[in-house]
């Protein structure tokens, strides 16, 4: 399948990045994210706690917490292919790690999906049309279809994860905005986004 080939290609590209490169590019992407109007204006944000092979989010999460925002992170319910937003009070709080290495805060309350204003989502690949290639579980696509979901959907990745074209299936949901270490991209009919920084 085309998606499987692309996933293999992207994992290879990510594995070629060294720790310093990951850190520097992640910090630049976080600065872009924190300068956007959706981030600055949102009171409730959902982000992901990065795995070792993902772009780092901790700097942006700290900024959100320091600004008094409610920050949620996903807990994965694998049996139901479901994401549950849990409140993150601190990056130093007690965490649980699931069987695939994903972390979430322990004994933390759920954040209502209806209250989310910005969701920052990972992905293996993205293209210039707002199409997102995940890891194959469809968790975020199902989450975006939740009946109470109305948040702006923002992809977050390295520029090395950009593709010419991501093949889309019927259940795939496009994102509204994509932020990498080089620029902020907007898709669809959303209002002009103020990045707060020049595109690289």
Condensed to tens digits (0 to 9), the pLDDT of residues 69-121 reads 999 999 999 988 899 999 999 999 999 999 888 899 999 999 999 999 999 99
Say if CB 134 and CB 104 are below 8 A apart: no
pLDDT one-digit tens code per residue, 132-189? 998 878 899 999 998 899 999 999 999 999 999 988 887 889 999 999 999 999 997 4
Do residues 176 and 199 touch, judged by C-beta distance below 8 A?
no
Q: What band does 2 get if pLDDT is binned at 50, 70 and 90?
A: confident
Residue 21 CA: distances (Å) to CA of 16, 29, 124, 126, 163: 10, 12, 17, 20, 20
Strands 95-97 and 103-105: antiparallel
pTM above 0.75, yes or no: yes
Domain spans of the chain? 2-186
What pLDDT, on a 0 to 100 scale, did the predictor assign at position 192?
45
Is the domain spanning 2-186 CATH 3.50.50.60? The answer is no
User: How far is residue 144 from each of residues 71, 160, 171, measured CA to CA in Å?
Assistant: 17, 25, 10
Residues 6+ apart with CB under 8 A from 112: 85, 148
């Amino acid at each position: 399948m085309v998606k499987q080939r692309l996933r293999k290609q992207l994992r290879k590209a990510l594995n070629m990045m060294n720790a310093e490169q990951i850190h520097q590019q992640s910090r630049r992407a976080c600065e872009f994210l924190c300068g956007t109007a959706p981030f600055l204006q949102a009171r409730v944000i959902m982000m992901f706690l990065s795995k070792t092979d993902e772009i780092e989010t901790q700097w942006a999460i700290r900024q959100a917490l320091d600004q008094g925002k409610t920050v949620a992170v996903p807990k994965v319910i694998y049996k139901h292919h479901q994401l549950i937003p849990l409140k993150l009070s601190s990056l130093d709080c007690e965490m649980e790690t699931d069987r695939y290495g994903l972390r979430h805060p322990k004994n933390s309350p759920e954040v209502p999906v209806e209250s989310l204003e910005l969701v920052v989502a990972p992905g293996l690949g993205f293209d210039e049309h707002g199409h997102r290639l995940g890891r194959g579980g469809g968790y975020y696509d199902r989450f975006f279809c939740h009946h109470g979901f109305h948040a702006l959907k923002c992809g977050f990745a390295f520029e090395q994860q950009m593709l010419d074209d991501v093949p889309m299936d019927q259940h795939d949901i496009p994102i509204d905005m994509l932020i990498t270490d080089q620029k902020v991209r907007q898709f669809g009919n959303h209002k002009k986004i103020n990045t707060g920084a020049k595109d690289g």
